[in-house]
Amino acid sequence: MARADPESNRRMSAAGTVVANSAGDMRRLGVQLGQAMGVGDVVALIGPLGAGKTTFAQGLAQGLGVAAERHVASPSFALVNEHPGRTPFVHVDFYRLRTRAELPELGIEEAYDRAATAIEWADRFPDALPADHLQITLAVEDTGGRRLELQASGPRSQRLAGVLAIT
């Protein structure tokens, strides 16, 4: 795994880049981040179909202590899945959400206060995110690996971004 200069991750709202050369790498990065997450942390996963958002979220679940038997898949139809763990893990997918009016019934704002949350396709409804969230934008590299661009928007997410940059 290559990674960006960790210095760039210490500044508030600074961006950092990490490359995951395989699905295993992607999952391991998720585990690292999940181990550092607690109640109130929100990760926004952005990227095209097949970018690796769910693979990363499966790592988050593992890092958050969700049981290995638990099937963590894209919550495309349920829109929200909750998994018990060391910290409860709320896994959201905005892909099939049509309007902002459907958001309140998903209960995600309430989830922000009592769980660690990951949202796939978060860019579809950016104003549904809390002010302080870690945005991770995934892009497919020519090599077949994935580039992760990290963008923190407050102190909580800044701390999380540092976890990926320094390991």
Ligand X SMILES: Nc1ncnc2c1ncn2[C@@H]1O[C@H](COP(=O)(O)OP(=O)(O)OP(=O)(O)O)[C@@H](O)[C@H]1O
- Residues near ligand X (CB under 6 A) are 20, 22-23, 25-26, 47, 49-55, 74, 120, 144-146
User: Least separation, in Å, of the C-beta of 7 and ligand X?
Assistant: 24
User: Least separation, in Å, of the C-beta of 103 and Mg ion?
Assistant: 19
Give CA–CA dist 27/14, Å, rounded.
Answer: 23
Give CA–CA dist 47/121, Å, rounded.
Answer: 7
Based on the shown chain and the rule CB under 5 A, indicate whether residue 53 belongs to the binding site for Mg ion. Answer: yes
Nearer to ligand X, 47 or 63 (CB): 47
Based on the shown chain and the rule CB under 5 A, indicate whether residue 54 belongs to the binding site for Mg ion. Answer: yes
Q: Do 43 and 132 meet the contact criterion of CB atoms below 8 Å apart?
A: no
The secondary structure element, H or E, covering residue 104 is: helix 103-106
Nearer to Mg ion, 71 or 131 (CB): 71
Name every residue whose Cβ is closer than 8 Å to that of residue 79 and which is 6 or more positions away in sequence: 92, 93, 94, 96, 97, 106
User: Least separation, in Å, of the C-beta of 72 and Mg ion?
Assistant: 10
Residues 20-39 that bind Mg ion (CB under 5 A): none
